[in-house]
Amino acid sequence: MKFTRRHLLGSLAAVAAAPLQAAPPAPGEPVHWPELTLLDGARWVPAADRAQVVVFWSVSCPFCKRHNAHVDKLYRAAGDGGPQVLTVSRDRDVAAVRRYLAANGYAFPVSLDQEALAAALSTRRIIPLTMLIGRGGRLKQAIPGEMFEEDVMELLKLA
């Protein structure tokens, strides 16, 4: 196939018009939050004066179920003064996520905006994956895999 100048210019224009996707931050770098919608339809906005704990999970992950029990305890303990807790389901089936939350009695906020958050925080596909963002909006730590309850609760102090 022969490329003409017109093809080349058209291709360059398409690349230039495509939105640039920033790489996820390294520890210490600021997090650029996307607009997020929670499972209940509310908009989620990180509070500038609070740390955030973000957990990626799935309903089919047995490690996530144990981990999420600790995350729910953290969420309930954090109240208004502790870190904001946001969880991100990697599932597409809204009904399945709702059933999972109800069956386990979890109260933490959930978003299904996994692509947007993954682009903003981490491209790792490990679940559960816990991200700790400090009060200044900078990524402090990415913790892959299941955590013990005491380690999850320690996030109250670290945040």
pTM, entire model: 0.83
pLDDT of residue 6: 44
In this model, does residue 7 exceed pLDDT 80? no
Q: pLDDT tens for residues 92-150?
A: 999 999 999 999 999 999 999 888 888 899 888 899 999 999 998 999 999 999 999 99
Q: How far apart are the first and last CA of the chain?
A: 57
pLDDT of residue 81: 85
Tell me the pLDDT of the chain averaged across its residues. Answer: 86
In this model, does residue 20 exceed pLDDT 80? no
pLDDT of residue 159: 67
pLDDT of residue 5: 46
DSSP H helices in the chain: 5-17, 62-78, 94-104, 114-121, 149-158
Going along the chain from its start, the domains and CATH numbers come out as: 24-158 (3.40.30.10)
- Find all residues with CB under 8 Å of 81, minimum gap 6, and list them: none
- Work out the pLDDT band at 22, boundaries 50, 70, 90: low
- Residue range 75-89: average pLDDT? 94
